[in-house]
């Protein structure tokens, strides 16, 4: 439980979790014929950001955490592109698009800094939570 509590205090995880939930809410209004294509892909990409933070944080060391943070960054880049694509198709109202992109940009800055910090630290093992 200790590892979960520490992870839940991470601002990058909080931002990633909120973005994923915001995208799930926004995609409910997408056309039904996009359910198994754009809707599914966007939701999956957005959800991979916080889940990779969780998975990386559950490992025993910073090297693995850094690897999972890299994956989270790539998933965030995919999410931001898919938001752009959905906007080009007219699926998102302009204010919602701006809000989601803003959330993604804020998360991206913090996630990037966190990733760099983790990778620069001297390699260390963290005890796995029970």
**Does residue 125 lie within any of the structural domains?**
no
* Residue 110, CB-side half-sphere exposure with 13 Å CA sphere: 15
Distances (CA, A) of 49 to 14, 16, 85, 103, 125: 11, 6, 19, 13, 23
- CATH number of the domain to which 33 belongs: 1.20.1440.60
Question: Residue 94's domain spans which residues?
Answer: 2-120
The answer to whether residue 8 is domain-embedded is: yes
Q: Over its length of 130 residues, how does the chain's per-residue pLDDT go in tens digits?
A: 445 555 557 899 999 999 999 999 999 999 999 999 999 999 999 999 999 999 998 887 899 999 999 999 999 999 999 999 999 999 999 999 999 999 999 999 999 999 999 999 886 665 444 3
Residue 126: predicted pLDDT: 55
Instruction: Give pLDDT, residue 5.
Output: 54
Query: How many domains, the chain?
Result: 1
36 in a structural domain: yes
- Indicate whether 102 belongs to any domain: yes
pLDDT value, residue 129: 43
Q: What is the pLDDT of residue 128?
A: 46
Report if residue 129 sits inside a domain: no
* pLDDT at residue number 77: 98
Burial tier of 84 (Cβ tally within 10 Å: 0-12, 13-18, 19+): middle
The pLDDT score that the predictor gives to residue 121 is: 84
Classify residue 128: in a domain, yes or no: no
127 lies in some domain: no
pLDDT value for 4: 56
Domain membership flag for residue 11: yes
Q: Position of tokens 């109202």?
A: 93
């Amino acid at each position: 439980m200790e590892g979960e509590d520490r992870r839940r205090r991470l601002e990058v995880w909080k931002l990633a979790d909120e973005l994923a939930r915001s995208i799930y809410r926004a995609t409910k209004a997408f056309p039904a014929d996009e359910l198994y294509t754009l809707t599914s892909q966007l939701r999956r990409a957005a959800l991979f950001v916080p889940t990779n933070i969780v998975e990386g944080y559950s490992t025993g060391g910073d090297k693995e955490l850094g690897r999972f943070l890299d994956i989270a960054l790539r998933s965030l880049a995919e999410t931001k592109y898919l938001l752009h694509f959905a906007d080009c198709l007219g699926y998102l109202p302009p204010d919602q698009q701006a809000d989601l992109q803003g959330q993604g940009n804020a998360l991206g800055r913090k996630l990037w800094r966190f990733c760099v910090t983790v990778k620069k630290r001297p390699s260390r093992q963290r005890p796995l939570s029970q």
